[in-house]
Amino acid sequence: MVIYGYKTIKTKSKDGLEIECESCGKTGSTAIQFFQEYLHVFWIPFLPWSRFATTSCKNCGYTTDSESMSPKYEALYKKQKPMPPIWLFTGLVVILLSYGFTYWQKQHKKEVEQNRIVMCSEQDAAPGKIYQVGVDDTKGDIDFLKKNHTKSKLIQIVTVSNDSIKYYKGYQIRDVSEDIMNIVEDNHLGNQFDTFHPDTMSIADFKKLEIVNCR
């Protein structure tokens, strides 16, 4: 449940204005007070809302507000009207900073992954090394994958010769919703590579693979 509402604070007051009271005609007896309404969410100031003012004569008690002021009082109101306190933007600033940090975090993560891809693709195959190869396009396969999940192949290098390599096959499932690459299942973590039937691949074919990660 979101708790929100409006609050009003006094932002400024000024006495002894050099203006003639419209009721008793005395000069210097009128005071003006300014008020600021703001929106709050969970009692945290979020955004300034409307502003208004009241005037009162200390001599005769004559009062006005922003809606009933005469042109003479209204001109004074506009001249003296203060800006909203900066702390009234606290909630909005927090949201903008949070959004900016989240965006930077995603971009940084993408950059790190791109750098890792370049590093992995430039390395030679080595025994024990595990490579993530390409991404399966069977997104949302009801027999195996959930919505926003992708499946990619893993290969673990067993041996390397002059012209070929032997490797074990595995797979990895990732959640790619909102560009967040979270590992959902990685059967290497359970040592479930097909270690009984290693496959063979030429070095030339290995270099053609779309390697997206390695460890």
Three-state secondary-structure class, residue 21 = coil
Q: What is the span of the domain harbouring residue 199?
A: 123-214
The single-letter code of the amino acid at 14 is K
Query: What are the start-end ranges of the H helices in the chain?
Result: 71-80, 90-122, 203-208
- Residue 143: per-residue pLDDT: 45
Same domain flag for 58 and 140? no
- Exposure string over 187-198, b if 16+ CB within 10 A, otherwise e: ebeeeebeeeeb
Domain boundary residue, one of 44, 76, 92:
92
The residue written with tokens 């509402």 in the block is: 5
Same domain flag for 145 and 87? no
Same domain flag for 128 and 197? yes
Task: Tell whether 113 is covered by a domain.
Answer: no
DSSP-based helix, strand, coil % in the chain, nearest 5: 25, 40, 35
Three-state secondary-structure class, residue 86 = helix
Structure tokens at 65: 């507000």
Give the separation between CA 88 and CA 116, rounded to whole angstroms.
44
Same domain flag for 26 and 88? yes
Task: Tell whether 114 is covered by a domain.
Answer: no
Average pLDDT over residues 13-22: 85
pLDDT at residue 214 is higher than 50? yes
Task: Tell whether 168 is covered by a domain.
Answer: yes
Same domain flag for 132 and 196? yes
Percent of the chain with pLDDT over 70: 74
Same domain flag for 127 and 210? yes
Q: What angle do CA 198, 203, 208 make, to 5 degrees?
A: 105
161 DSSP assignment:
-
Domain count for the chain, please give it: 2
Same domain flag for 87 and 15? yes
Same domain flag for 151 and 209? yes
Task: Tell whether 108 is covered by a domain.
Answer: no
* Pair 182, 157: CB distance under 8 Å: no
Task: Tell whether 156 is covered by a domain.
Answer: yes
* Pair 33, 66: CB distance under 8 Å: no
Instruction: Tell me the pLDDT tens digit for each residue of 177-213.
Output: 544 444 444 443 334 566 667 889 888 888 888 777 7
Other Cβ atoms closer than 10 A to 96 = 11
Task: Tell whether 106 is covered by a domain.
Answer: no
Task: Tell whether 204 is covered by a domain.
Answer: yes
User: Residue 142: pLDDT band by 50, 70, 90 thresholds?
Assistant: very low
Instruction: Tell me the pLDDT tens digit for each residue of 96-133.
Output: 999 999 998 888 877 776 666 566 666 677 888 888 87
Same domain flag for 137 and 80? no
pLDDT at residue 139 is higher than 50? no
- Residue 14: per-residue pLDDT: 87
Closest Cα partner for 190 from 213, 170, 168?
A: 170
Task: Tell whether 133 is covered by a domain.
Answer: yes
Same domain flag for 69 and 142? no
